[in-house]
Amino acid sequence: MAEVVIVGSPEEGGALAASLIARVVAAKPDAVLGLATGSTPLPVWQALARLQLDLGAVRGFALDEYIGLEPGHPESYRAVIDREVVGPLGLTPSLVHVPAEGLSGAALAGAGQAYEARIDAAGGVDLQVLGIGRTGHIGFNEPGSSLASLTRVKTLTEWTRRDNARFFGGDVTRVPLHCVTQGLGTILRARSLVLLAWGESKADAVAAAVEGPVTASVPASVIQLHRDVTVVIDESAAAGLRYADYYREAWTSRPAWLR
Ligand code: GLP
């Protein structure tokens, strides 16, 4: 684990994560970003947009996508990424990819391999933004996901579908049962990870991911195997952390040359 940063608000956390992204893009204008959906990363995209960087050469790979929504569905992750990330940040649409795009039926079986090949051809992900679900999932890697998994089709838990029903008029039956998601092994291949969480509903998942055992039962715990992770969380999401005081001290007392 590299760093756990406890911030005062999602806005502050968003600004911090945006500064990490800006640093990567300054060094490599065509950097490859791993893009998470959900409500958690929104303050990051907002802060990044305010920096008014030229992100036209940046390449992007979404973490996951639902299976079974009609093309153009406003809650498909392609639509969400276009609306919340590509447009506001001025990314080039053709450089931003979502798994399984345009595929259906039997063709979906090959979607994972095709996406992995695409990520490899881009030279791998430089910085992967991650949210975390209450089941401890990252991407859509639900409990039981192999820690070595690559992009593939998964079945969503009832819990995740209920959490995400808010995007589907509160109707869980409208939330797809299946998805295609980058695997935990795919995520580990990214050169750096930034995991974000806000609010008390995420406190248990954050504590299990950061301080619990590395286990497929808490897929996000796989981040402990990565060399370059920044966990950015607000006070409520940090509520279950045993070593919170230590993380605060380590962050505030960083030597200037480490900043
Ligand atoms: C969703 C997404 C994840 C996201 C998580 C948390 O189901 N597939 O990528 O991180 O659940 O969502 P939110 O940020 O809205 O709480």
* Interval 227-252: pLDDT, tens: 999 999 999 999 999 999 999 999 99
Domain ranges of the chain: 3-253
Structure tokens at 186: 């795919």
Taking the chain, what is the end-to-end CA distance rounded to the nearest angstrom? 17
160 close to ligand 1 (CB < 6 Angstrom): yes
Q: Please determine, for residue 178, whether its predicted confidence score (pLDDT) is greater than 90.
A: yes
Cβ–Cβ under 8 Å, residues 210 and 193: no
Q: Which atom of ligand 1 is nearest to the CA of 64?
A: 8
Q: Please determine, for residue 1, whether its predicted confidence score (pLDDT) is greater than 60.
A: no
Given this model, what pLDDT does residue 104 score?
A: 86
Cβ–Cβ under 8 Å, residues 236 and 203: yes
Given this model, what pLDDT does residue 184 score?
A: 98
219 close to ligand 1 (CB < 6 Angstrom): no
Query: Sorting pLDDT into bands at 50, 70 and 90, what band is 206?
Result: very high
Residue of minimum CA distance from atom 12 in ligand 1: 38
Given this model, what pLDDT does residue 161 score?
A: 97
10 close to ligand 1 (CB < 6 Angstrom): no
Q: Comparing 187 with 103, which gets the higher pLDDT?
A: 187
Given this model, what pLDDT does residue 79 score?
A: 97
128 close to ligand 1 (CB < 6 Angstrom): no
Q: Helix, strand or coil for residue 7?
A: strand
Please tell me the pTM assigned to this model.
0.96
Distance from residue 255's CA to the centre of ligand 1 (Å): 34
Structure tokens at 183: 């695997």
145 close to ligand 1 (CB < 6 Angstrom): no
Considering only CA atoms, which of 53, 56, 57, 75 is closest in space to residue 66? 75
Q: Please determine, for residue 259, whether its predicted confidence score (pLDDT) is greater than 80.
A: no
Distance from residue 245's CA to the centre of ligand 1 (Å): 27
Work out the mean pLDDT of the chain and round it to a whole number: 96
Region 151-164: mean pLDDT is: 96
39 close to ligand 1 (CB < 6 Angstrom): yes
Q: Please determine, for residue 65, whether its predicted confidence score (pLDDT) is greater than 60.
A: yes
38 close to ligand 1 (CB < 6 Angstrom): yes
Given this model, what pLDDT does residue 102 score?
A: 83
Region 24-45: mean pLDDT is: 97
Distance from residue 137's CA to the centre of ligand 1 (Å): 8
| Residue % of the chain over a pLDDT of 70 | 100
Given this model, what pLDDT does residue 91 score?
A: 98
Query: Sorting pLDDT into bands at 50, 70 and 90, what band is 255?
Result: confident
Q: Which atom of ligand 1 is nearest to the CA of 38?
A: 15
34 close to ligand 1 (CB < 6 Angstrom): no
Chain centroid, CA 225 distance in Å:
16
- Taking the C-alpha atoms of residue 127 and residue 24, their distance in angstroms, rounded to an integer, is 8
- For the domain covering 3-253, report its CATH number: 3.40.50.1360
